[in-house]
Structure 1
Amino acid sequence: MGDHRHGHGAHGQSTDEQGTHEQGTHECPAHGHAHADVDWAEMSASLERRAEAYAPLTAQIIEQVRAVQPQPRRIVDAGSGPGVVTCALAAAFPQAEVVAVDGTQALLDLTARRAERVGLGDRVRTRLADLPDGLADLGGADVIWLGLALHHLGDQRAALAEFARHLAPGGALVLLEGGLPARYLPRDIGIGRPGLQARLDAAQETWFNEMRAALPDAKDEVEDWGALLTAAGLAHVETRTHLLDLPAPASGTVRAHVADVLGRRAGGLREGLDADDAATVGRLLDPDDEAGLDRRPDVFLLATQTVHLGKRAA
């Protein structure tokens, strides 16, 4: 998911967070804070865990990008969060400079340290800026990766037009928005009422609508992303949905990520959960409970992410 006080997307993304967002869903911040009050730096560990759990899906998207932009010289990761995806892009395109743009310095510091640790420090640089205005003097980008960040901007149509303006001729805008809510537990988990995740999704949708409405300059927009890319002056190359299927028993990384998601939702959706569901989530998060996530053999991760590619004329 990254800082989105002014429209930054952290990877680690829907929406748990690619930054703050789980792929294909809209994740609420912890403890029910308003959007502007989210401490993204405090969430950095969970953002990293989410991005690492979703790494196989990110790799699929990178291959989709490679088909339309095989040798980019400059890639901008707009709303880069802790830099997991930034470094994946740098590793996949060894000829490219990758610029991580985010509004939280602590997350950019994590990005720089990760890049150095994996031997990419000479090609990854960071920029503290709000989006989309913070791209103004970067120069044209061959790829702008906009991972679950656009829905943090009030006027999405105007923002897309601004991002498109910063593409080099022939450059590609990679827009990650949409998909299906992730699943990580069976419908009936043996405690509480069956269908817990469906009820969490409904409460989450209410939260997301309220978050969008509270953004500065918020405008309602039909979420026809291909049409919006066209309105921004780009050719809509394709829309494709990618699948992440990590079956049970889940790895420790996936279990930690699922615990992050449930923990944030339990804190952020208190008013949307009844006492029974709240008690069930509490048991799932209890490391000493036999029915908790740490001990369950049925935890998995099944998610999708839809990607919309637009391209500027050469």
Structure 2
Amino acid sequence: MSLGFLEGAANWLAELTRDRPVRRILDIGSGPGVGSCVLASAFPGAVIGAVDGSAPLLERASARAARLGLGERLVVTQQDLPDGLDLLEPADIVWASRVVHHLGDQEAAVRRMAALVRPGGVLAIAEGGLSLRSLPRDIGIGRPGLEARLDVAQQDWFSEMRAAQPGAASTAEHWPGILADAGLTPCGTRSFLVDHTAPLDARTRAVVVGWWGGIRERLADQISAEDRATVERLLDPQDEEGLYRRPDLFVLMATTVHAGRATTP
């Protein structure tokens, strides 16, 4: 979910690289190409390499770029991560949004990504921030404080997901330190706030409903029966208290991006 975060991050990357031409950008774990197209708009002189392991998602990325008139500047490459990183050509900017935490050895993955950055270029990874909030503490159904309890369950799910990754290694997630250990010079950490007040427009509401659908799928076995019932009601299009009809639905979240620069000879 970007809801505006990607545009802010892309503008920051433009500031970090304003002293050099940016001709090639890699979007690692590009998915359907939302970030790739934002980067293409922010860097009109660059070719964007969208890299992902999913062919259907890369097809969506190509279709998105074509709709936006960016088709010739987006080159899709199907590669499984992290091993496929070693097969990519270097770039002036390497971007990885919420990707590294899906790779077993996060530090090794960052080292591989750092090796793809041209001298003077930047590796930027979006990891961490503040979880999405979209509802008041008391929503009138279920026990108050639902999102706070979901945060705890989400952390447990995240730890289990990390442990199940091939080659999983414990990592102290000090991202500037990880970038430095990968041979880069940390050049900043910035958090981008997404703030959409109630009432939400239809598009933003649909994104939030999709996010809650993912919560239901991930956390069904990790929350109480009472909270599961509340989530089901929230996702029911016919329920007057549900997300489709609530006038108090909002979006407040922050995504943190950490950047490191490759040494110039």
Report the TM-score when normalising by structure 2.
0.96
Contact in 2 for aligned 1:154/1:215 (Cα 8 Å): yes
Aligned-partner Cα distance in 2 for 1:82–1:231: 31
* 2:75 is aligned with 1:75: no
The aligned counterpart of 1:60 is 8
Q: CA deviation at 1:139?
A: 2.3
Conserved 8 A contact 2:86-2:112: no
Q: Which runs of 5+ in 2 are unaligned?
A: none
Q: CA deviation at 1:126?
A: 0.1
Which residue number corresponds to residue 227 of structure 1? Answer: 177
| Aligned-pair CA distance for 1:194 | 0.5
* Whole-Å separation in 2 of the counterparts to 1:75 and 1:297: 40
Structure with greater strand share of residues: 2
For 1:67, give the aligned amino acid. Answer: E
Question: Which digits, 9 at most, give the CA deviation of each residue in 1:233-290, with x for residues without a partner?
Answer: 0000011111111111011122112211222222221222212111111111111111
CA distance in 2, matches of 1:92, 1:116: 17
Within 2, Cα distance between the matches of 1:308 and 1:276?
38
Following the alignment from structure 2 to structure 1, what is the Cα–Cα distance between the partners of residues 116 and 210? 35
Structure 1 equivalent of residue 124 of structure 2? 174
Q: Structure 2 CA distance, aligned partners of 1:96 and 1:109? A: 20
1:27 match: none
TM-aligned CA deviation for residue 174 of structure 1 = 0.6
Question: Which residue in 2 is equivalent to 1:148?
Answer: 98
| Distance apart, 1:137 and its partner CA | 4.1
Q: After superposition, what is the alpha-carbon deviation per residue over 1:85-136, rounded to whole angstroms, capped at 9, x for unaligned?
A: 1111111111000000000000000111111111101111100002233233
Q: How does 1:1-314 map to 2 (within 5 A)?
A: 50-51=1-2, 54=3, 56-70=4-18, 71-314=21-264
CA positional deviation for 1:77: 0.3
Amino acid at match of 1:221: T
Indicate conservation of the 8 Å contact 1:147/1:177, yes or no.
yes
> SS of the counterpart of 2:72?
coil
Letter in 2 for 1:183: R
Q: Cα RMSD between the aligned structures?
A: 1.1
CA distance in 2, matches of 1:297, 1:188: 14
Work out whether residues 122 and 260 of structure 2, in 8 Å CA contact, stay in contact via their aligned partners in 1: yes
**Number of matched pairs:** 262
Measure how far apart 1:196 and its partner are.
Answer: 0.4
TM superposition score normalised by structure 1: 0.81
Paired AA for residue 297 in structure 1? P
For residue 300 of structure 1, report the CA deviation from its aligned partner: 0.5
